[in-house]
């Protein structure tokens, strides 16, 4: 069952005063979706942030849940949700390019750096990836190490592997 609640203030997540959340189950753990009422502004795995106040139904959160459920079933390859990521100009550039990585494919941090015109910026790209607050929907899990091994993922490598397995089951055969 999904829960939608008004989040009054939670400074560590850098959320504004009027945010709404929806907590939903998924194959990789509970997911906490965050919205400003118009767009998705965050997606966290595991323990949700502290929740205060009452609840409110939001169509953007219902649609995000619907699309995430379809993604986890293997029925959705590309999300079509309004997003409002918050970050530096560089981070936004990296996150925009992440959305260009096709479903079921992976690229290295170095390749991502090349794609944004900064071929020596793989470390900076990795740091920007780590700041992505709309994981899964902005698919930072599709970026792997140059050796082909799974590296760095805020949700943990086991969750990264599960997400990649959902997208490309033969990757781990």
Instruction: Tell whether the torsion through CA atoms of 96, 100, 106 and 112 is positive or negative.
Output: negative
Q: What is the DSSP letter of 134?
A: B
Q: Which of 23, 60, 140, 166 is catalytic?
A: 140
Say how many residues make up the chain: 173
CA distance 126 to 131: 9
| Cα dihedral value 45, 92, 102, 134, nearest 10 | 20
3 closest CA partner among 26, 22, 28, 27: 22
140 has catalytic annotation: yes
Q: Which are the catalytic amino acids?
A: 140
């Amino acid at each position: 069952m999904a829960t939608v609640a008004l989040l009054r203030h939670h400074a560590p997540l850098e959320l504004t005063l009027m945010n709404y959340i929806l907590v939903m189950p998924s194959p990789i753990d509970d997911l906490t979706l965050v919205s400003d009422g118009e767009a998705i502004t965050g997606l966290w795995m595991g323990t949700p942030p502290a929740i205060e106040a009452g609840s409110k139904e939001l169509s953007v959160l219902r649609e995000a849940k619907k699309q995430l459920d379809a993604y986890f079933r293997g029925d959705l390859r590309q999300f079509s949700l309004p997003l409002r990521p918050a970050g530096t100009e560089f981070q936004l550039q990296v996150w925009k390019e992440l959305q260009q990585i096709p479903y079921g494919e992976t690229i290295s941090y170095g390749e991502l750096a090349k794609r944004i015109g900064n071929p020596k910026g793989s470390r900076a790209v990795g740091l920007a990836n780590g700041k992505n607050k709309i994981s899964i929907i902005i698919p930072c899990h599709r970026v792997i190490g140059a050796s082909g091994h799974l590296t760095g993922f805020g949700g943990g490598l086991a969750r990264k592997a599960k997400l990649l397995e959902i997208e490309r089951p033969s990757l781990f055969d």
